[in-house]
Structure 1
Amino acid sequence: MTTTARAARAVSRSPLVDRRWIGRWLLKGSAAVAFLYILLPLLFVTWLSFYRQEIPSFPPEGYSLHWYTQAVQNDRFIDAFLFSAQLGAIATAIGLLLAVPAALGLSRLRFHGHGFASNLLLMPLVVPGIVLGIAIYVFQTEIQIATELPILGSLPSLVWGHVLLVIPWAFRLITASLAGFDRTLEEAAQSLGANRFTTLRRVTLPAVLPGIVAGGMFGFVASFGNLEMSLFLVGPGHLTLPIAILQYLQWKIDPTIASISVLQIAIIAIAMLVTDRFVKLSRVV
């Protein structure tokens, strides 16, 4: 058989379409559909926030920024936003103080019950928010009955619950950051005379800083936007933004809520982009 005949026979046997090419396009198409499915509600909410009419209807009568002005001029929303931000900051700080040593210890020590301890710290991500809120409320009720301390409806009880939302995010992302950390850097620092505390402060923590910041950011967002658990723990004078939005929707339905949602998303997105610019959250997330 000549060389030309062999080449012609090989071409005739080769498939008309490369299967790898089909697989790549199917994967890209599936990813595009998934992203569209996730982003579609956000796009509709953003579109709705620019409606001119008070009662949403299609097609819109026109577009306006009126609802954004009304949202930022509503004192109830502003106070609730500031309280949610303060609550999220306090819960994030406490959650990081607990999650950082827990991640350091569980990533380096192996003991009986290691897996149980790791799963326990991640449990708030698995348990539904309403179940977690009921459980914390019942637990705090029992403590108040036993100790006669004013726990229910207080700010410490609310912070307590929100700390549980921060810990799993911080623990998971810090652990992921520690997984790629080179332990020989610590050994080199100690061989040069640094003690364990100095090594932790000047070598370990700076190396896992992206994981700490990412955990804090995700924990803050989880605390800031929580509704289910906060409904059971919030007391008089402590109104979070999600609860303020829910109360507003009980009496009125207009694009004000959509504009508030867009502002929240914009603030969080800008904060994460600025943070990633200096800390490189993409290394962990």
Structure 2
Amino acid sequence: MNWLLLVLFRLMLAGVLTFITLPLAVVIAASFSPTSAVTFRPWEWTARWYGDLVSERWLLPFLLSVKIAVIVSIVSGIIGVMAAYAVFYEKIRGSEAAMSALLSPLSVPQIVKGVAIVLFLSLVGLQSFLGTPALIAAHIVLALPFVVRMVATSIANFDRNLDRAGQILGANKRQRVQYILLPAIRPGVLSGMTFAFIISFNNIPLSVFLVRPGDTTLPITVINYLEYSLDPVMAAVNVASMIFILAVIFLFEKIGGFSVKLHGGSK
């Protein structure tokens, strides 16, 4: 009976992995299509479509998306660390209400948030902030709950005996936070910032309300392009974006050591 369950589990796992990876394989194959129409001819594959990615049509939105994502990850990381420290480490008065407020953006659909932000800027006469400023602010609101939650988890797993040892040895509060707490929760901070970067870089539902002509992010440019054509260039853009995101994850993993956080041991 046990071997039958094991076989069924492996078959289900193989099915799930196939379901996840097969669309990616199709997109990768389409990016090497030998013609402007998406065709599957492995013996004639070409990489010339990737050369179109360095044009202003794709490069400028990509650089804007990276710029916004970097700012969002840094700002949300700083705010998330301070908020999680105050709520979970210092346990300020009303910490439960504060945590609920910090996580509340998760309960509102992104489309609703986008419409609300546009209406708010219109009512207060700040339509000029539409574009990059509004995108950065909205993406920070969207990503902050993820950062707070991951940093809070790291703080909850922090061994308070380390802080007591530092206090006994004469370290003041700032020194204990700087040299004991922050290094200990670094994997949580970096993983939260990674989530913030990816969420900002790939966001569509919220960004579609806040972009303006000449100030468009890569995902919105992709959506606009899909309205008129579906060709290998589109597939190449998606493959390049996927490779870029994987590179970002790998970089943050090397810096922050997510495996330590996930497995509870050394890398």
Common fold, TM-score beyond 0.5?
Answer: yes
User: How much has 1:126 moved relative to structure 2?
Assistant: 4.1
Q: Secondary structure at the match of 2:204?
A: coil
Q: Find 1:185's aligned residue among 158, 162, 167.
A: 162
Q: What's the TM-score once normalised by structure 2's chain length?
A: 0.89
Query: Could you say which residue in structure 1 is the equivalent of 2:12?
Result: 30
Distance 1:284 1:171 in 2: 15
Residues 181, 207 of structure 1: 8 Å contact kept: yes
AA paired with 1:62?
E
User: Cα deviation per residue 1:165-212 (whole Å; 9 max; x = unaligned)?
Assistant: 221221121122222211111111111111111111111001111111
Residues 167, 219 of structure 1: 8 Å contact kept: yes
AA paired with 1:80?
P
Q: Secondary structure at the match of 2:243?
A: helix
Distance 1:263 1:35 in 2: 21
Q: Secondary structure at the match of 1:208?
A: helix
Residues 155, 185 of structure 2: 8 Å contact kept: yes
Question: Is the radius of gyration larger for structure 1 or structure 2?
Answer: 1
Matched, 1:135 2:116: yes
User: How much has 1:96 moved relative to structure 2?
Assistant: 1.2
Query: Could you say which residue in structure 1 is the equivalent of 2:48?
Result: 66
Map 1:65-84 onto structure 2 (within 5 A). Answer: 65-72=47-54, 74-84=55-65
Compute the RMSD of aligned alpha carbons: 2.2
Give the share of equivalent positions with the same residue, in percent.
32
Map 1:202-241 onto structure 2 (within 5 A). Answer: 202-241=179-218
User: How much has 1:79 moved relative to structure 2?
Assistant: 0.6
Q: What's the TM-score once normalised by structure 1's chain length?
A: 0.83
User: How much has 1:111 moved relative to structure 2?
Assistant: 6.5
5+ unaligned residues in a row in structure 2: which ranges? 263-267
Stretches of 4+ moved more than 6 A in 1?
A: none
Residues 88, 95 of structure 2: 8 Å contact kept: no
Q: Find 1:197's aligned residue among 174, 177, 182.
A: 174
Q: Secondary structure at the match of 1:284?
A: helix
Distance 2:6 2:75 in 1: 45
Task: From the superposition, tell whether residues 159 and 203 of structure 1 become closer, same or farther in structure 2 (CA, over 3 Å).
Answer: same
User: Cα deviation per residue 1:219-247 (whole Å; 9 max; x = unaligned)?
Assistant: 10100111111111112431111111122
Query: Could you say which residue in structure 2 is the equivalent of 1:13?
Result: none
User: Cα deviation per residue 1:139-189 (whole Å; 9 max; x = unaligned)?
Assistant: 222222xxxx45442432221101112212211211222222111111111
Q: Find 2:74's aligned residue among 78, 93, 96.
A: 93
Distance 2:162 2:206 in 1: 42
Task: From the superposition, tell whether residues 34 and 100 of structure 1 become closer, same or farther in structure 2 (CA, over 3 Å).
Answer: same
Residues 176, 284 of structure 1: 8 Å contact kept: no
Matched, 1:52 2:34: yes
Task: From the superposition, tell whether residues 113 and 214 of structure 1 become closer, same or farther in structure 2 (CA, over 3 Å).
Answer: same
User: How much has 1:255 moved relative to structure 2?
Assistant: 1.0
Q: Secondary structure at the match of 2:208?
A: helix
Query: Could you say which residue in structure 2 is the equivalent of 1:119?
Result: 100
Task: From the superposition, tell whether residues 122 and 20 of structure 1 become closer, same or farther in structure 2 (CA, over 3 Å).
Answer: farther
User: How much has 1:63 moved relative to structure 2?
Assistant: 1.1
5+ unaligned residues in a row in structure 1: which ranges? 1-18
Matched, 1:172 2:149: yes
Query: Could you say which residue in structure 1 is the equivalent of 2:265?
Result: none
AA paired with 2:211?
V
